[in-house]
Amino acid sequence: MKIVKRDDNNRPYYPVRSIFDDFFAPVLWDELPLSQQGVASLSADVWEDKDNIFVKMALPGVKKEDIKITIHQDNISISGHTKQTDEKEEKGKKYYLHTMESSFEQSFNLPTKINPDAAEAQFVDGVLQVKLPKAEEVKPKEIAIK
């Protein structure tokens, strides 16, 4: 355990920083992203073929009912919230419970308009795959020569 001295605004106290804080207002140091603690980066594979756009995302430990997919004409947003509590009860024993809670959201701008009514999603073994059919007006069309 580390004891951290704090200033009047409940910020960690750094001797050199306090000198600069006296001269500069507002404090720009608080705006800098110095650490990425608590930020999870979700990655996804996005590809397309002639008729569809596909999004594949690994979501280990997430249940199907905890995932929400929102589709617009040229945007998809995948979000979710999970909460897991390890509970165990036995008479005469004392247990410490562990609760893990997390949420996520990832949005993608799609390269073309899609038909949201014909979209399909599958979630198998912690992997989400979404199939997004392209809108008819943007699909390539062949014309016959007369």
Do 68 and 107 lie in a common domain? yes
Range of the domain at 53: 43-138
What φ, ψ does residue 100 adopt, rounded to 5°? -120, 125
Lowest-confidence region among 12-21, 31-40, 51-60: 31-40
- Please tell me the predicted confidence (pLDDT) of residue 34: 47
Do 28 and 51 lie in a common domain? no
pTM of the entire structure? 0.60
Residues 126/115, Cβ–Cβ less than 8 Å? no
* CA distances in angstroms from 65 to 27, 82, 108, listed in the order given: 43, 10, 21
Residue pointed to by tokens 């996520």: 104
Beta bridge partners of 24: none
Do 66 and 84 lie in a common domain? yes
Residue pointed to by tokens 């562990």: 98
How many angstroms separate the CA atoms of 98 and 24, rounded? 43
Write the pLDDT tens digit of every residue in 106-120.
888 888 888 888 999
Tell me whether residue 72 is in a domain: yes
